[in-house]
Amino acid sequence: MVNILTKILKSDRLDEYPLFQKFCSLKEKGLRKESFKALSSFIDEAKTWDNNAQQKFACWLFALFETSDDIHHVLVHPLEEELLKPLLEGWMKSNPEDPRPYRWYGVFLNTEKRVDYLDNATLDLVATMNNYPY
């Protein structure tokens, strides 16, 4: 698998998130303090987006996490706690049938209830599949 920073920095969609690009670029260069300043600006900006824009970002980011190594370089505490957790929690409440936020929360985020989230993701996926005729 490819390192997450390499994968993000090569992504075609990164231009949509210039402050996140700055965070990743600075992080790759080892400029931790500066990267966290850029991340803070990105989080502040992302909080102003509507739900669809936030979910679009999450879908893009978690898809990259699924196929990358060393995601801890990007999935840092402020991003997880200030943006991703609240986003996924709201998503689960507004659309409980969607298995993706449960799976991502259970697989990638720090939680003591990891198994509960993964069980919900599985149950929601099975229910969704049962609603589609083959």
Higher-confidence residue of 41 and 130: namely: 41
Domain residue extents for the chain: 2-130
CA 42 – CA 53 distance, rounded (Å):
13
With pLDDT > 70 as the criterion, what percentage of the chain qualifies?
A: 81
- pLDDT of residue 112 exceeding 80: no
Residue found under tokens 């997880």: 80
- Which residue stretches of the chain are H helix? 4-9, 18-28, 32-46, 51-66, 77-79, 85-94, 99-108, 114-130
Count CA atoms closer than 13 A to 100's CA, side-chain side.
Answer: 17
Phi, psi of 61 (to 5 degrees): -65, -45
Count CA atoms closer than 13 A to 118's CA, side-chain side.
Answer: 10
The CA radius of gyration of the chain, in Å to the nearest whole number, is 15
pLDDT band at 116 (very low <50, low <70, confident <90, very high): low
Residue found under tokens 């259970």: 106
Among 7-11, 105-109, 117-121, the least confident range: 117-121
Summarize pLDDT for 33-74 with one digit per residue, the tens.
999 999 999 999 999 999 999 999 999 999 999 999 899 999
pLDDT band at 27 (very low <50, low <70, confident <90, very high): very high
- pLDDT of residue 124 exceeding 60: no
